[in-house]
Amino acid sequence: KDRARLLITCNDQPGIVAKISKVLYEHGANIVQSDQYSTDPSGGTFFMRVEFELPDIERKKGELEKDFEPIGKELQMKWQFSYMNQLKRMAIFVSKQDHCLLDLLWRYQSGDFFCEIPLVISNHPDLREPVESLGIPYYYIPVNKDNKPEAEKQQLELLKKYNIDFVVLARYMQILSPDFIKHYRHRIINIHHSFLPAFVGARPYERAYERGVKIIGATSHYVTEDLDEGPIIEQGVKEVSHRYNVEDLKRVGRTIERDVLARAVQLHLEDRIIVHGNKTIVF
Amino acid sequence: KDRARLLITCNDQPGIVAKISKVLYEHGANIVQSDQYSTDPSGGTFFMRVEFELPDIERKKGELEKDFEPIGKELQMKWQFSYMNQLKRMAIFVSKQDHCLLDLLWRYQSGDFFCEIPLVISNHPDLREPVESLGIPYYYIPVNKDNKPEAEKQQLELLKKYNIDFVVLARYMQILSPDFIKHYRHRIINIHHSFLPAFVGARPYERAYERGVKIIGATSHYVTEDLDEGPIIEQGVKEVSHRYNVEDLKRVGRTIERDVLARAVQLHLEDRIIVHGNKTIVF
Amino acid sequence: KDRARLLITCNDQPGIVAKISKVLYEHGANIVQSDQYSTDPSGGTFFMRVEFELPDIERKKGELEKDFEPIGKELQMKWQFSYMNQLKRMAIFVSKQDHCLLDLLWRYQSGDFFCEIPLVISNHPDLREPVESLGIPYYYIPVNKDNKPEAEKQQLELLKKYNIDFVVLARYMQILSPDFIKHYRHRIINIHHSFLPAFVGARPYERAYERGVKIIGATSHYVTEDLDEGPIIEQGVKEVSHRYNVEDLKRVGRTIERDVLARAVQLHLEDRIIVHGNKTIVF
Amino acid sequence: KDRARLLITCNDQPGIVAKISKVLYEHGANIVQSDQYSTDPSGGTFFMRVEFELPDIERKKGELEKDFEPIGKELQMKWQFSYMNQLKRMAIFVSKQDHCLLDLLWRYQSGDFFCEIPLVISNHPDLREPVESLGIPYYYIPVNKDNKPEAEKQQLELLKKYNIDFVVLARYMQILSPDFIKHYRHRIINIHHSFLPAFVGARPYERAYERGVKIIGATSHYVTEDLDEGPIIEQGVKEVSHRYNVEDLKRVGRTIERDVLARAVQLHLEDRIIVHGNKTIVF
């Protein structure tokens, strides 16, 4: 596929679109989709996502990027090209619950996700079978209070060895250390089983039951040092009633969780998310 | 209408339904709708709502209630009959925002709500016109730090004078004192402009904006001494995106608020809510 | 589990609940949940679902059913007891698409569904692996214009041999003959990939795309002789936009289909559905 | 407000964005928001909506439009500038039901809608009061089989006299003639009280009840010569159950209708809709 995406963040100022679209046009690119957003037209921050087609892109992309650089510097941008013929490499971390993992694997296998899944890492041996049956290596790395730094070192080495672009925590029930997170800043996607910021932390379904809420939810977000406080990517909800006990909430919650996580992963794979402060722009 | 409702709470035990339905049957009542719920069949709490038709109910209800009493005492119930020919009397408290008030008035006028609205009380003079144009008295009682006890005294006297059954806070921006609440325990319905327990307290839309949530909501609940912590009756949500500024969130939120509040009021009017601990059973 | 359910349909008349609850009580049953509905209190049809616990049910159920019979005849009921220790036996029919099948299998395996799946029948060989890996027999029975009566004969023999209670069409792309349907009246659940009655028949996503709808949906219903016209059990929807091409609609649709079908199967497994005319009462 | 919007439709081809953004930039405009969509990057149709700020726009817009013309012609565009300081003029047609009318008036009055409402036309006298109390003229023009052409002539004269930009049918229960529609092509917004294409035509709630659907909806669309077949702008739905009789469906439906119609009007007011064939692009 001769298709690519360009993500841009800079201070808002007149002429940004004109300059960017001119350089793309001069290199023969056809803009297929373009979205932009500005926090404030006077003095705010400007965000843009451009998807374009460029015949013979593999040969031409070097020159395009080189010619783009002066504009990027002039407008003091942060920018990033990504190419659809370079599939993103996604690692999945999982514990014992299988619903998010199975859904991700199904979407991968059915062709919904354009990505590679070079490995799955788990702190439990339970889910080896569905992973290995797809030919994906499954690494069982137990984690406990004492070996955590060592376990994370192993995990990071595997991510490096497999050249991983981003990590998905598919109900991985361990808190990652700040040091780990630093290596994959805004590249670790978690699914939290509540409607954040409600029920931050442990046992959200139990607490939802106790509070007597009439709607439950799930939230996918990028992991930061502050537990469940990272930039929110996507949320989903479902109505419940007094008839739902904690087990019912968990059962209904599982289908929310897998859907919300899958949508977040899809958005990330399509380069539709820009993180700004502690929030996301989702194009 | 010869229709009535019976709400019951008691310890679960065999034979409750048989005993209740027998006495109703013997008095000539036809059960039109019946719902029940038990927190736990062995040793839990049992809740029931029965809606029945009883020809010539006005004449017969005295005897029915008298004959029901021994069963109620035997099963150690809390129970309550209510009759559809006795319209509930609802007072509305409002401040400056009109959307919830106008929606309640429209549903009242269009016949959706079977109730009377004998008065509206406000701490501002602004919304007098739409209220008085329907022939409903509008009482302007300013509230500030210094006169609050005096203002609540006036309010309570009005509620007593007008024989009010329950109070709806239609975006009333004052906190009621514990003393006031005690007079209308589980009979004051509030609409909070967030998806509780997220964003308890002031400025929820501003905080939702800062947190970058992708869904906003509103919650109706019975007012208790703990701010925004009372039993939840109904919740509603709507998807938003990074494009929504605080004003947009408030605009979208207004339509959620009025819908959620109206549904809660409807449930209360139809005697569909039983409060149990800090939760609601909604039949 | 000493739990059972009783489904009832009869003409509405005073005393039904009293009589039913009395006989249950006299046999030592404790009503755990009870729902009823009447199309019209005077002269309508009455529906009831009672879930009850009866210690030592396996031994006592014969006597209970015997003593219930006179009441059933007196009130001219249709009634049906079902017992939770007798798992329902569900056959799945599938073609090439795997999403509904996999979701049903996952819910079965994870314990969400209380049922047995004695076999899967398909007109294609493709999905053998995930079925057999759970130890469930997979019967590949090709169907074409010429062999259809023969194929259905084979299918019916298998259903009989395996003592099947009901059939789920998990995106089975063949129309069943009226003769086949007659054997499993209101016991064949289909998932149609549109929001019925919109887009009855073939190619609903293509037609939804052409019509430019802003919401798509899926519908589960009992199969009758009239294609896509049977009693609706459950529906689900999702917002879409002009950006969704037919493939996108199908992708989003798949997650609606599997959820809606799973909810319908769950309702059927819990004996929550009564068919009345061409509509369902869902308790 | 020095803000304007530009809507564009043309054949897709490289360089469109570059050329448009260049001319805007050269006239001092700052692009605030920009959306585009292409049915197919090679040989499809290209759509774009640009919102921009141009200081001193009132003075400069003549020159901008003049300089834009050669580009528009070169790319064989259909294009349209609209300016936020020229409020759109909206006429409302209504019959007897008030919920859509009242909601539109409330949004107008509360400042949610940037528009003018110079008049309301009705075939019934009933809703005069809430309209005139806002100082808006209310024209009562009875319509029956015999006088329809004459009535439409009167209506068209009023629309012309008041310089109306677009018409909203807020539950106006008359079918407009093709001749009338021709005068306001894609400028008449209707609300149909069903989830189109389900239940085209009369009595949709009655038919939804008979079909036993589990979700009802409403659809706003531009009016064309084919009844209920025009380009869909927006749809909304709500879950219902067997407990809802026709009156309940209508009651719930009213809140869907008013919300869906209000969202469609808002999109039209913000120039977010481009009609393409019988579908809408909604930015």
Tell me: the pLDDT tens digits for A114-134?
Answer: 999 999 999 999 999 999 999
Contact B98 D112 (CB under 8 A): no
DSSP-assigned beta bridge partners for residue A91 = A119, A167
DSSP summary character for residue D190: E
Instruction: Tell me which residue in D233, D236, D242 faces C280 most closely, judged by beta carbons.
Output: D242
Beta carbons of C272 and D231 less than 8 angstroms apart: no
Q: How far is CA A38 from CA A6, D27, D37, D260, in A?
A: 16, 20, 19, 28
Tell me: the pLDDT tens digits for B201-243?
Answer: 999 999 999 999 999 999 999 999 999 999 999 999 999 999 9
Query: Tokens representing D28?
Result: 């001092």
What band does A267 get if pLDDT is binned at 50, 70 and 90?
very high
Point out the catalytic residue in the list A98, A103, A165, A228. Answer: A228
Contact A112 C255 (CB under 8 A): no
Contact D110 B102 (CB under 8 A): no
* Interface probe, candidates A49, A105, A110, chain C, greatest C C-beta count within 10 A: A110
How far apart, in whole angstroms, are the C-alpha atoms of residue A39 and residue B245? 9
Of residues D198, B29, A59, the one with CA closest to residue C235: D198
The predicted pLDDT at position C237 comes to 97
Contact B279 A235 (CB under 8 A): no
Please report residues of D whose CB lies closer than 8 A to that of C194. none
Point out the catalytic residue in the list C103, C228, C259, C271. Answer: C228
How far apart, in whole angstroms, are the C-alpha atoms of residue D36 and residue D43? 15
How far apart, in whole angstroms, are the C-alpha atoms of residue A179 and residue A93? 17
Using an 8 Å CB-CB cutoff, list residues of chain B that contact chain D. Answer: 98-99, 102, 106, 110, 112, 133, 251, 255, 259, 262
CA distance A23 to chain B (A): 27
Proportion of chain B above pLDDT 70, given as a percent: 100
Chain B: residue nearest C21 by CA? B18
Contact D98 B112 (CB under 8 A): no
Which value does ipTM take for this structure? 0.95
DSSP summary character for residue A115: E
Please report residues of D whose CB lies closer than 8 A to that of A18. 18, 21-22, 24-25
Query: Tokens representing B251?
Result: 């605009």
Residue B129's H or E segment, with its range, is: helix B128-132
Tell me: the pLDDT tens digits for D29-70?
Answer: 999 999 999 998 778 999 999 999 999 999 999 999 999 999
How far apart, in whole angstroms, are the C-alpha atoms of residue C146 and residue B154? 85
Please report residues of B whose CB lies closer than 8 A to that of C34. 17, 34-36
How far apart, in whole angstroms, are the C-alpha atoms of residue B161 and residue B137? 13
Residue A228 is a catalytic residue: yes
B3-83 shares its CATH topology with B88-282: no
Instruction: Tell me which residue in B214, B233, B236 faces A232 most closely, judged by beta carbons.
Output: B214
The predicted pLDDT at position B43 comes to 82
pLDDT at B41 over 90: no
Q: Using CA atoms of D155, D160, D164, D166 in order, give the dihedral in degrees to the nearest 10.
A: 60
Residue C170's H or E segment, with its range, is: none
Q: Known catalytic residues of B?
A: 228
Mean pLDDT, chain A, as a whole number? 96
B88-282, what's its fold? Rossmann fold (3.40.50)
Chain D: residue nearest B101 by CA? D106
Q: How many CB atoms lie within 10 A of CB B65?
A: 14
Which residues of chain A form beta strands (DSSP E)?
3-11, 30-38, 45-53, 78-83, 88-94, 115-122, 138-140, 166-169, 188-192, 215-222, 232-239, 273-276, 279-282
Of residues C219, C248, C258, C251, the one with CA closest to residue C102: C258
How far apart, in whole angstroms, are the C-alpha atoms of residue D73 and residue D84? 25
At B43 the three-state DSSP class reads coil
Contact A106 C99 (CB under 8 A): yes
Tell me: the pLDDT tens digits for A37-67?
Answer: 999 877 899 999 999 999 999 999 999 999 9
Instruction: Tell me which residue in A198, A212, A233 faces B198 most closely, judged by beta carbons.
Output: A198
What band does C41 get if pLDDT is binned at 50, 70 and 90?
confident
Q: What are phi and psi of C5, to 5 degrees?
A: -130, 145
Using an 8 Å CB-CB cutoff, list residues of chain A that contact chain D. Answer: 12-18, 21-22, 24-25, 28-38, 41, 53
Q: Domains of chain B: which residue ranges?
A: 3-83, 88-282
Which residues in chain D show pLDDT less than 50?
A: none
How many beta-carbon pairs under 8 angstroms link C with D?
73
Contact C106 A112 (CB under 8 A): no
Query: Tokens representing B19?
Result: 């005993």
How many beta-carbon pairs under 8 angstroms link A with C?
18
pLDDT at A22 over 80: yes
CA distance D245 to chain C (A): 9
Please report residues of C whose CB lies closer than 8 A to that of A241. none
Query: Tokens representing C178?
Result: 């009226």
Site of tokens 């398909």: C122
Q: How far is CA B39 from CA A216, B46, C6, in A?
A: 20, 7, 21
Contact D18 A25 (CB under 8 A): yes
Please report residues of A whose CB lies closer than 8 A to that of B211. 196-197, 232, 278-279
The predicted pLDDT at position A42 comes to 77
Site of tokens 């007196």: C74
Contact B25 C14 (CB under 8 A): yes
Contact B21 C21 (CB under 8 A): yes
Q: Using CA atoms of A9, A46, B209, A222 in order, give the dihedral in degrees to the nearest 10.
A: -10
CA distance B235 to chain C (A): 20
Contact D22 A24 (CB under 8 A): no
Instruction: Tell me which residue in C17, C30, C35 faces B21 most closely, judged by beta carbons.
Output: C17
Distance separating the N- and C-terminal Cα atoms of chain B: 21
Instruction: Tell me which residue in A14, A30, A37 faces D25 most closely, judged by beta carbons.
Output: A14
Site of tokens 């769950």: C266
How many beta-carbon pairs under 8 angstroms link B with D?
18
Point out the catalytic residue in the list D103, D228, D259, D271. Answer: D228
Mean pLDDT, chain B, as a whole number? 96
pLDDT at C42 over 80: no
Please report residues of C whose CB lies closer than 8 A to that of D279. 211-212, 242
Q: How far is CA C77 from CA C64, C270, C274, C282, in A?
A: 16, 21, 13, 18
Chain A: residue nearest D30 by CA? A14
The predicted pLDDT at position B143 comes to 97
Site of tokens 């109703």: B24
The predicted pLDDT at position A43 comes to 82
Please report residues of D whose CB lies closer than 8 A to that of B99. 106, 110
CA distance A268 to chain C (A): 17
Superfamily of structural domain C3-83: ACT domain (3.30.70.260)
The predicted pLDDT at position C120 comes to 98
